[in-house]
Structure 1
Amino acid sequence: MESAKHAGDAAVAVSKAYGVDTMFTLSGGHVFPLYDGAVHEGMRILDVRHEQSAVFAAEATARLTRRPGLAVLTAGPGITNGVSGIATAHFNGSPVVVMGGRAPQSRWGSGALQEMDHPPLLEPITKLAFTSSGADSIGQDVETAFRTAGSPHRGPVFLDFYMDHLFAPSGGHQAEPLTPSPLEPDPSHVASVARLLAEAERPVLVLGSDVWMDRAEEAARDFAESWRLPVIPNGQGRGILPAGHEQLVTRARGTAFGQADLVIVVGTPLDFRLGYGWFGGKEGAPLARVVHITDAPSQLATHMTPAATASGDLSLVFWSLGTACGEAGVKPDRYAPWLEKLSLAAAASVEHDAGLLAADSDPIHPMRIYGELGKVLDDDAVVIGDGGDFVSYAGKYVEPRRPGHWLDPGPYGCLGTGLGYSIAARLARPSSQVVLLLGDGAAGFSLMDVDTLVRHKLPVVMICGNNGIWGLEKHPMQMLYGYDVAAELQPQCRYDQVVTALGGGGELVTKPSEIGPALRRAFDSGVPYMVNIATDPQIAYPRNTTGV
């Protein structure tokens, strides 16, 4: 860019150079020059009804497209409203740049509207949080933000601008996007992992979100298939092995993690979702040895000592590990009895659950919803989960057929992501079905952004599992104390009428036989449409306390 009318032009031009095509925002005067820059540069401006949705949409854009997402927030409450979205991006390792407005430097300290020093608030949940120093530095500062967000390990960056700097003339900035050099894994670390595989009889390979984000899905699938490893996906690792693949043993998760002698976890933390990295020990089996492989050394587990670790570009890790396995004498046939056992366990689980997926019980069993949904989902559908108990079923009964078509809040577990994620999914996958699975509790966080879907003509099918309670809290509290408080919601609340009032479509479903036809009407409608399904509040998703 040779010149800019004002610093907002420079900021937007650099953003476009880094692949950004949409600015997610909620209107605010502190950032008007960024909007003006978007108009000059032909960038889409998508305005939402709550700043959290702008950040969630930017984060989902990054996760679906593997290009950086951009959210623009006005000063003060505009930025504090976006904090949960920024924290979610931090825990998910999503390359998001959040640009904020800031009271004028010429008035700083005198009590200007929404005057607040934002970076100290955001430093703990970003890779970098800083204030641009002047109009002529804004282009370079924006480039620093995008480079930082996209380098391993990816994550959000926050950058704010003094209002008077943003409105001031700027000389512009010629952006020079650089692809980070891939981090080569240490050969000795890779060799250690291969030796463990050579010794193992019951290995399990866990593929996490960073496998997708690192563009390593093909290398991961090739490695798993070449060495005949049972696979359990996690987060956006779902779909790397498609639904129905013989090595996909998600439905035998308990047996796999409980009886494995080696668990190789790639691209995801050893957190509560994976029992904090403790596997094995069931039915007389010893504790499993654990391997942790990450895209950057900073992501390796520190709360335990794995048997082996490796870090680097995950495609390079898988390719190197394949070579090392050959050198270590790994024999895939050795795992055949184990894989057969898990396949049989998975098949038994499918058979066991078939009745509930077709249950005619009244009130509706939540599993019946997933039984009906599976009949109408296309291979390239994008499925989004935003909820607690109801969405827990999705993790078990919705198996994507392609990578990059599943979104959940990730380890931070923030409710309210769904509408922002849906906005981004409809833009990123314009020809695919987009399905948002909402608990009725989660619906209360962001349902007003149906207005955003309607205004911007973004059809999404919303399915609300409406049991009239906070299910993840009510049942455990009853178990602990024999009573519950603060766990009730309005039974059969008409969330569908909220959607209709905002310009979409919807209906309430109270009988199992109505679910399938209602879903078909939703997909055929061509508008944001909610199927609000009243489910049995007495039924809780069966879970244990270890995450395994």
Structure 2
Amino acid sequence: MNGSQWLVHALAAEGVDTLFGYPGGAIMPFYDALYGSDLKHILVRHEQGAAFAANGYARASGRVGVCVATSGPGATNLVTGIADAMLDSVPMVVITGQVPTTLMGTDAFQEVDVFGMTLPVVKHSFLPRRVDELPSVLAEAFRLARSGRPGPVLIDLPKNVQTADAAHLPMHRPLPIDAPHSACPVALLAAVELLSNARRPVVYGGGGIALGDAVAEFRSFVGATQIPTVLTLRGIGALADDHPLNLGMLGMHGTRAANQAVQQADLLVVVGARFDDRATGKVAEFAPGAKVIHLDLDAAEIGKLRAADVALRGELRTSLDALATAMPECSAWRATCVENKRRHAARYDAPGESVFAPALLRRMSQLAPSAVVACDVGQHQMWVAQHWAFNDPRRHLTSGALGAMGFGLPAAIGAQLSCADAQVVCVSGDGSFLMNVQELATLGRYQLPVKIVLIDNQRLGMVRQWQQLFFEQRYSETDLSDNPDFVALAVAFGVQAMHVDRADRVEDAIAQLLAAPGPALLHVAIDAEANVWPLVPPNRNNAQMLFDPRLMDCEDANATLPT
């Protein structure tokens, strides 16, 4: 048994069943060891696709995603997917080949210092120089990826370590995950008192709820306290979409009900969120009258952007259970928030014959209510966040902090492989889709039943919208009118495809897409001038929102909630 063969057995012992990668010279011994093994290797068509597929696998399942590439360009092509996992706290183990230790530092063929290059975007990096280091390195890599705030861990594996004799190495034994500590009891008492005295409280939930397996406790807390709730992009689904106290997403493209409630609140209960700039708008004017109770596992997030009046660092589940004993008297406030949600609910009756993307996505969510949705980045990403009815945060896969175009299709592939029986949908835009379009070949090869909704406005839509609103309509390099024929392109890869460009044909097109056996693509042509609304302009607070006048009701667009 050599190092590579030992590693294959050890990965299986860690519970790995699927990995994503692309072979090359420095990682070839590992691929030789994979031959005939029980591990399922998915051959992607670009290493970035491997990283995003492992990323989607981990997001959908909560398990560690694994991707593999060779040295040099193989490793550098993984970096964007690694960074995405780091910024969104996704557990991954990344294995890269490296030149033999005898050639390291000599500018050998395909030698790159991937260990140093990735240090800012991993939880930890390993560079084992002897085969005897493999047992401790692998066990620690998986422990770190899973423990605390999850994230990616890199193992840069020299070729001679892969080929070295490993017959003497012990069988691999996974290490236990570090148990998270509980919040300070004194701080919990202070939080309960602060919450009990609030009259306009708002719960502000983020991605840490799903990461901490605290969805049930979060829902119980909201149910017990009856506090109006807003969610971040990564928190969507933590509270059911149709829950009466769910005011929707807050922030730059949040709902009026959510943003106005936050701006008028006297207390924010922040659960697993980090005061991201896309959520807060102008942070100096964010929730100006609110005190803050901040619950988070990661001490680095508490007080980073907004001082907490009470900091509850620790496991979210126990903290939420303790706070659920508080009973704030906020019935008038609650009624106002719920009524504001009703008055400002999204409308889907846009005039004209062209496809209205929000209406299409809302209808899809009704016809595929349990789907796992992997989004690319851009206008379509915000439309999904606003209009798809999610009831589970692990069914909404989106590149949040990094905002990486090209994420959607490979992430959907990873999600489908982690949840074989699930309906998986990729929602992409014409700009994002071409970033990793080669992964259609992966779909075709493995006949994964991913359904792709490609929203095509022949523009780099989000950038064009900002150029229209804030750059005096100087449309610099956002024209994509020379896009290929996406239907023909998909068919060339062995993927069934269809087209829709009229609102009255949307229902049949969605039904045809969802009923298609195997992978399928629906090309949706929309108006090039379509924008995402509402929108908080740069350097404005969340109450200063812009709206589409065609979809507004007669009420004052700048109305704030009564106190």
**Common fold by TM > 0.5:** yes
Q: Give the structure with the larger helix fraction.
A: 1
Tell me how far apart the structure 1 counterparts of residues 282 and 13 of structure 2 sit (CA, whole Å).
40
Are 1:274 and 2:266 an aligned pair? no
Report the equivalent of 1:105. Answer: 101
Tell me how far apart the structure 2 counterparts of residues 547 and 206 of structure 1 sit (CA, whole Å).
16
1:338 to 333, 338, 341: 333
Task: Give the direction of change, closer, same or farther, for the CA distance of 1:139–1:339 in structure 2 (3 Å limit).
Answer: same
Tell me how far apart the structure 2 counterparts of residues 192 and 206 of structure 1 sit (CA, whole Å).
19
Q: Give the C-alpha shift of residue 79 in structure 1.
A: 0.9
1:94 to 90, 93, 118: 90
Q: Give the C-alpha shift of residue 509 in structure 1.
A: 1.4
Report the equivalent of 1:307. Answer: 309
Tell me how far apart the structure 1 counterparts of residues 191 and 377 of structure 2 sit (CA, whole Å).
37
Report the equivalent of 1:249. Answer: 247
Task: Give the direction of change, closer, same or farther, for the CA distance of 1:471–1:176 in structure 2 (3 Å limit).
Answer: closer
User: For 1:81-108, what per-residue CA distance to the aligned partner results, in whole angstroms no more than 9, with x for missing partners?
Assistant: 1111010001011111101100112333
Q: Give the C-alpha shift of residue 41 in structure 1.
A: 4.5
In the TM superposition, what are the counterparts of 1:109-258 in structure 2 within 5 Å? 109-170=105-166, 171-173=168-170, 174-250=172-248, 251=255, 252-258=257-263
User: For 1:455-475, what per-residue CA distance to the aligned partner results, in whole angstroms no more than 9, with x for missing partners?
Assistant: 112111111111111121123
> Aligned with 2:151: secondary structure?
coil
> Aligned with 1:355: secondary structure?
coil
Task: Give the direction of change, closer, same or farther, for the CA distance of 1:456–1:172 in structure 2 (3 Å limit).
Answer: farther
Task: Give the direction of change, closer, same or farther, for the CA distance of 1:42–1:239 in structure 2 (3 Å limit).
Answer: same
> Aligned with 1:32: secondary structure?
helix
Tell me how far apart the structure 1 counterparts of residues 405 and 525 of structure 2 sit (CA, whole Å).
20
Report the equivalent of 2:552. Answer: none
Task: Give the direction of change, closer, same or farther, for the CA distance of 1:34–1:317 in structure 2 (3 Å limit).
Answer: farther
Tell me how far apart the structure 1 counterparts of residues 279 and 468 of structure 2 sit (CA, whole Å).
26
Tell me how far apart the structure 2 counterparts of residues 259 and 466 of structure 1 sit (CA, whole Å).
38
Task: Give the direction of change, closer, same or farther, for the CA distance of 1:47–1:215 in structure 2 (3 Å limit).
Answer: same
Report the equivalent of 1:292. Answer: 294
Task: Give the direction of change, closer, same or farther, for the CA distance of 1:183–1:276 in structure 2 (3 Å limit).
Answer: farther
Q: Which amino acid is 2:247 matched to?
A: V
1:370 to 361, 366, 373: 361
Task: Give the direction of change, closer, same or farther, for the CA distance of 1:94–1:353 in structure 2 (3 Å limit).
Answer: same
Q: Which amino acid is 2:499 matched to?
A: L
CA RMSD of aligned residues (A): 2.1
Q: Give the C-alpha shift of residue 276 in structure 1.
A: 6.0
In the TM superposition, what are the counterparts of 1:9-158 in structure 2 within 5 Å? 9-39=5-35, 41-158=37-154
Are 1:544 and 2:536 an aligned pair? yes
Are 1:468 and 2:458 an aligned pair? yes
Task: Give the direction of change, closer, same or farther, for the CA distance of 1:343–1:382 in structure 2 (3 Å limit).
Answer: same
2:343 to 337, 344, 348: 348
Answer yes or no: is the 8 Å Cα contact 1:497–1:507 preserved in 2: no
> Aligned with 2:94: secondary structure?
strand
In the TM superposition, what are the counterparts of 1:524-539 in structure 2 within 5 Å? 524-539=515-530
User: For 1:160-210, what per-residue CA distance to the aligned partner results, in whole angstroms no more than 9, with x for missing partners?
Assistant: 111111112213343232131221211122223222211211111122222
> Aligned with 2:331: secondary structure?
helix
Answer yes or no: is the 8 Å Cα contact 1:17–1:177 preserved in 2: no
Task: Give the direction of change, closer, same or farther, for the CA distance of 1:240–1:111 in structure 2 (3 Å limit).
Answer: closer
Answer yes or no: is the 8 Å Cα contact 1:48–1:452 preserved in 2: yes
Answer yes or no: is the 8 Å Cα contact 2:291–2:309 preserved in 1: yes
Q: Give the C-alpha shift of residue 55 in structure 1.
A: 0.9
Unaligned runs of 5+ in 1: none
Report the equivalent of 1:265. Answer: 270
Task: Give the direction of change, closer, same or farther, for the CA distance of 1:443–1:536 in structure 2 (3 Å limit).
Answer: same
Are 1:428 and 2:412 an aligned pair? no
Q: Which amino acid is 2:495 matched to?
A: G
2:511 to 509, 520, 538: 520
Are 1:484 and 2:475 an aligned pair? yes
TM-score (norm 2): 0.89
Q: Give the C-alpha shift of residue 59 in structure 1.
A: 1.5
Q: Give the C-alpha shift of residue 395 in structure 1.
A: 0.9
2:489 to 479, 493, 498: 498
Tell me how far apart the structure 2 counterparts of residues 277 and 431 of structure 1 sit (CA, whole Å).
43
Task: Give the direction of change, closer, same or farther, for the CA distance of 1:103–1:492 in structure 2 (3 Å limit).
Answer: closer
TM-score (norm 1): 0.92
Tell me how far apart the structure 1 counterparts of residues 61 and 124 of structure 2 sit (CA, whole Å).
22
Answer yes or no: is the 8 Å Cα contact 1:257–1:280 preserved in 2: no
1:446 to 433, 436, 442: 436
Answer yes or no: is the 8 Å Cα contact 1:368–1:512 preserved in 2: no
Report the equivalent of 1:8. Answer: 4
2:382 to 367, 384, 392: 392
Task: Give the direction of change, closer, same or farther, for the CA distance of 1:304–1:402 in structure 2 (3 Å limit).
Answer: closer
Which runs of at least 4 in structure 1 moved beyond 6 Å after TM superposition? 279-282
Tell me how far apart the structure 2 counterparts of residues 505 and 457 of structure 1 sit (CA, whole Å).
11
User: For 1:464-518, what per-residue CA distance to the aligned partner results, in whole angstroms no more than 9, with x for missing partners?
Assistant: 1111111211232233234211111026742222111100011221111222211
Q: Give the C-alpha shift of residue 277 in structure 1.
A: 8.5
Tell me how far apart the structure 2 counterparts of residues 225 and 429 of structure 1 sit (CA, whole Å).
29
Tell me how far apart the structure 1 counterparts of residues 20 and 541 of structure 2 sit (CA, whole Å).
35
Which stretch shows the higher mean deviation, 12-21 or 123-132? Answer: 12-21
Tell me how far apart the structure 2 counterparts of residues 281 and 33 of structure 1 sit (CA, whole Å).
54
Answer yes or no: is the 8 Å Cα contact 2:499–2:522 preserved in 1: yes
Answer yes or no: is the 8 Å Cα contact 1:261–1:280 preserved in 2: no
Task: Give the direction of change, closer, same or farther, for the CA distance of 1:460–1:315 in structure 2 (3 Å limit).
Answer: same
Answer yes or no: is the 8 Å Cα contact 2:59–2:415 preserved in 1: no
Answer yes or no: is the 8 Å Cα contact 2:25–2:70 preserved in 1: yes
Answer yes or no: is the 8 Å Cα contact 1:31–1:163 preserved in 2: yes
Unaligned runs of 5+ in 2: 249-254, 543-563
Tell me how far apart the structure 2 counterparts of residues 276 and 362 of structure 1 sit (CA, whole Å).
35
> Aligned with 2:425: secondary structure?
strand
Answer yes or no: is the 8 Å Cα contact 2:283–2:541 preserved in 1: no
Quick one: percent identity of the two aligned structures?
Answer: 26
Q: Give the C-alpha shift of residue 236 in structure 1.
A: 4.3
Q: Give the C-alpha shift of residue 157 in structure 1.
A: 0.8
Q: Give the C-alpha shift of residue 141 in structure 1.
A: 0.9
User: For 1:196-247, what per-residue CA distance to the aligned partner results, in whole angstroms no more than 9, with x for missing partners?
Assistant: 2112111111222221111111111111111112222224432232221122
> Aligned with 1:310: secondary structure?
strand
Answer yes or no: is the 8 Å Cα contact 2:140–2:175 preserved in 1: no
Q: Which amino acid is 1:343 matched to?
A: V
Task: Give the direction of change, closer, same or farther, for the CA distance of 1:148–1:496 in structure 2 (3 Å limit).
Answer: same
Tell me how far apart the structure 1 counterparts of residues 22 and 348 of structure 2 sit (CA, whole Å).
45
